[in-house]
Amino acid sequence: MELMGFSAAVLVAALCAGVMGFAIQRGATCTVAAVDEVLNQRKAGRLLAMGEASLWVAGGLALASVAGWHAVMPAAYPVSAWVVIGGVLLGLGAWLEKACVFGAIARFGSGDWSYAATPLGFYAGCLSVAGVFAPPAAPVLAAASPVLQAAGWVTGPFLVFAAWRVLPPLWSAWARLGARQRLAAWVWAPHAATGVIGVTFLLMLLLVGVWAYTDVLAQLAHGMTQRLALGIAFLIALYLGAVLGGWTAGRFGSTPVTVAGVLRCFTGGLLMGWGSLLIPGSNDGLILIGMPLLRPYAWIGFATLCVTIAAAMLAQRALAQAFLRGSTT
């Protein structure tokens, strides 16, 4: 009976991973796109949507705690110089390949096969980080999350937020659109897509424990285990969901694979692999694990990542403008 319960939990978790990949692709979820939106459109919609994914996880964990459903919480780490260095490397890697770890999944799901090199580069970075940087092992903090300590206070406002975010768009879509369009019109706006990502991640956390797809690649670099085999199955479901998202949206093109594109994605993945182990945590781990639990290292790492992407974009723009001025004189 216990085995059947575990198998059911694994199947539901795999479905959640597939839905997460679908939402990442259909919502075009990407930190690089979010920073670009801030710089070029003076809007922060995508960035705020990522913050909402953290909010869904935090509120859901608080609600589960109040209901007596306690999940095994991930480790907490202190703030150090390595967190900032890791954030810079994450940002440079994302800028170089024009996509963060979320965005790479979305690009792959759209048929841009060069982004298959991203997880390979990430894996290579996890293998080589000790030889390149020789960072000390990050000490684990024993402090409980403030969110879970104040779960009773968090639950009420979270339920109000969830009702405000979910019910009006659903009602509006139902009233305005035909049956085949209703769900699609609501789910894949940036805020709603990241909400789906947050909720599916939360369900996986409660059902099978902490899982982030970049953690799977990092663990794979240190040997196979039964737990890792389960993580790989979820990783496959994630990518299949992204491919399904691209296909059903009509975005599943055939982008030519070039040597330059593969090298760019591999190098970007390599840098992000280094950065994720130095923090520790990548985009998915920071947004969906560290930030919801109000871990300072995660907020600093993500802020450093965003600032680095912005700085690289501005520097690239300045160099391009200088080149154009030079070519016209």
**pLDDT reported for residue 270:** 95
- 3: tokens are 């085995």
Separation in Å, CA 122 to CA 5, 30, 206, 221, 267: 34, 17, 27, 10, 8
**pLDDT reported for residue 226:** 63
The CB density around residue 205, as the number of other CB atoms within 10 Å, is 25
Separation in Å, CA 266 to CA 123, 131, 221, 279, 325: 10, 18, 16, 20, 33
| pLDDT tens for each residue of the chain, 329 residues long | 444 556 788 899 999 999 999 988 877 778 999 999 999 999 988 899 898 899 999 999 999 989 888 777 778 888 999 999 999 999 999 999 999 888 899 888 888 889 999 999 999 998 888 778 877 777 777 777 888 888 889 999 999 998 888 776 666 655 555 555 555 544 566 777 888 899 999 999 888 887 777 888 877 776 656 677 888 889 899 999 988 888 877 766 667 889 999 999 999 999 999 999 899 888 888 999 899 999 999 999 999 999 999 999 999 999 988 877 777 66
> Cα–Cα distance between 205 and 151 in angstroms, integer?
17
Asked if residues 61 and 202 have their Cβ atoms less than 8 Å apart, the reply is yes
* Nearby residues of 324 by Cβ (< 8 Å), 6 or more positions away: none
pLDDT per residue as tens digits for the range 114-124: 999 999 999 99
**pLDDT reported for residue 3:** 47
**pLDDT reported for residue 322:** 82
Asked if residues 91 and 304 have their Cβ atoms less than 8 Å apart, the reply is yes
pTM for this entry: 0.88
Task: Tell me the β-bridge partners of 198.
Answer: none
Query: Exposed, middle or buried by CB within 10 Å (0-12, 13-18, 19+), for 108?
Result: buried
Cα 191 to chain centroid, rounded? 14
Place of tokens 């390149």: 132
- 294: tokens are 């109000």
Separation in Å, CA 113 to CA 93, 126, 249, 264: 18, 22, 17, 12
Asked if residues 213 and 101 have their Cβ atoms less than 8 Å apart, the reply is yes
pLDDT per residue as tens digits for the range 133-182: 877 777 777 777 888 888 889 999 999 998 888 776 666 655 555 555 55
**pLDDT reported for residue 251:** 67
Separation in Å, CA 183 to CA 190, 237, 250, 303: 14, 22, 17, 33
Q: What are phi and psi of 295, to 5 degrees?
A: -85, 120
* Nearby residues of 256 by Cβ (< 8 Å), 6 or more positions away: none
